[in-house]
Amino acid sequence: MTGFLSASFAILIAVGMPIGFVLGVAGLLGMVKMGGGAVLNLVPQRYFAGVDMFTLMAMPFFILAGEIMNKTGITQRLVKFSNILVGHLQGGLAHANIVASIFFAGITGAAVSDTAAIGSMLIPAMVDEGYDKDFSAAITAASSIIGPTIPPSNIMVIYGAFMQVSIAGLFMTGLVPGLILGIALMIMTARISKKRGYPVGERRATVKEILVGFKDAIVALLMPLIILGGILSGMFTPTEAAAVAVAYAMVLGFFVYRNLSLRDMVPLFLKMARTTGVVFLVIAAASILGWVLTIEQIPEKVATFMLSISDNRYVIMGFILIMLLVVGMFMDIAAALIILGPILHPLAVQLGYHPLHFGIIMVLALNIALMTPPVGACLFVACGISKLTLEQISREILPFILVELAVLLLITFVPAIPLALPRAMGLLGR
């Protein structure tokens, strides 16, 4: 059955079928091979069961909150504040790009949204300041994966829902790795900027300028604090926190900035529906394939195979990282997470990895694939903004990929780093 499913999957991908349909059709073919037409009544049941999770409702709310915040001009305020903080460094706008991604992570939790929102502002601005266009696009794509690593994160919501892992714990586990990722990218940016002679800011911002910029950005910076504070205090669930984020964004748009109208909400709702629909289609279809994999005991077979290769947990985890990075290069991140999660999560726990620790490993590895050719979604968005080819950006982004791989290895083999906050807050037992 494993060979049959693999062949079916590969053929459907090769003919250009969308990934959501590939997952469903491959699962359907597997069901037919297992039990003929007698099991076909399970297909619609599994399809709807795949998205019948209260936790998943957080995703459209987080998406809508991010869209509203973008509409109200929060992105510009965050970019301006980031530039005030680090614009005096050599390569200041590139550093501001990274810092803005860290701030922006608390709004959308989606790498592609980060690339589109920040890239549309900073890529042209960086080019006007004298930065190479391919470098400007590359740093935008590279820093955007900080978004799904620092809470809130849509991909963590999916992982927590399917693996029955605390979403609050996952959020806290991703915070330190996300900050380390930002620092590592800034170190590489500083090195490249010095080598190429990129612009240096005229002066360091004064305390007054920093305070004014902070005042303009504070309402956006409060959103992740409200979300995390509410979840960790027990005031509301992650799903309710997402709804609170929407309410907070609407209050800002309608009553604080007063640049949002009811007419503006219609396209925002439509965009949220389109984005959510695509992801939920993948989740629902993957549920069919996941059922087949479970019945055929594929996760157990994969675990047995890997354990037969070596009994060293670090060697096996190395194989797992390679698998995640390769699969992520060719498959939608949500689909990869849903398919590989039930297979690799039990194996990682068997190897002694904490569920929260492996969760952030899987999320970061698949996020790195978002900026890796040939199917890196963030790269394609950056290409669209910069009008460059994928090949041009791919060459320039290679040093940043290597940096992020180094961070991935660090958090994989030094568990104290990602688990420090969850342990301090008593979330490891959840």
pLDDT surpasses 90 at 229: no
Q: What are phi and psi of 178, to 5 degrees?
A: -65, -40
Report the percent of the chain where pLDDT is more than 70. 95
Average pLDDT score over the chain: 83
The two tokens of residue 424 are 């301090």
Cα gap 140→101, rounded to integer Å: 8
Q: Is 175 helix (H, G, I), strand (E, B) or coil?
A: helix
Who's near 299: CB < 8 A, 6+ residues apart?
293, 342, 343, 346, 347
- Looking at residue 38, its pLDDT comes to 58
* Residue 325: count of CB within 10 angstroms of its CB: 17
Return the residue matching tokens 């992740």.
Answer: 224
Determine the straight-line distance between the first and last CA of the chain, rounded to whole angstroms: 36
- Looking at residue 1, its pLDDT comes to 63
pTM: 0.83
- DSSP structure string for 294-327: HHTTHHHHHHHHHHHH-S-HHHHHHHHHHHHHHH
- Looking at residue 379, its pLDDT comes to 78
- Looking at residue 131, its pLDDT comes to 92
pLDDT surpasses 80 at 192: yes
pLDDT surpasses 60 at 430: no
Cα gap 383→225, rounded to integer Å: 33
Cα gap 237→228, rounded to integer Å: 10
| Closest alpha carbon to 422 in 240, 228, 223, 236 | 228
The two tokens of residue 75 are 């992105």
Who's near 214: CB < 8 A, 6+ residues apart?
81
pLDDT, tens digit (0-9, with 9 covering 90-100), for 357-413: 999 999 999 888 777 776 677 777 888 888 888 788 888 999 999 999 999 999 999
Output the CA–CA distances (angstroms, integers) from residue 307 to 301, 347, 348, 356, in the order listed: 10, 9, 11, 22
Mean pLDDT (whole number) for 1-28: 76
Mean pLDDT (whole number) for 99-109: 78
Q: Among 88-97, 257-266, 274-283, 351-360, whose mean pLDDT is lowest?
A: 274-283
341 alpha-carbon distance from chain centroid: 15
pLDDT surpasses 60 at 428: yes
pLDDT, tens digit (0-9, with 9 covering 90-100), for 309-361: 888 888 999 989 988 888 877 777 777 887 888 888 888 988 899 999 999 99
Enter the DSSP assignment of 29. H
Cβ distance 129 to 93 under 8 Å?
yes
The two tokens of residue 224 are 């992740």
* Burial (CB count within 10 angstroms: exposed 0-12, middle 13-18, buried 19+), residue 293: buried
pLDDT surpasses 90 at 135: yes
b/e per residue 376-411 (b: at least 16 CB within 10 A): bbbbbbbbebbebeeebbbebbebbbebbbebbeeb
* Residue 82: count of CB within 10 angstroms of its CB: 26
Cα gap 85→92, rounded to integer Å: 9
Amino acid at 200: V
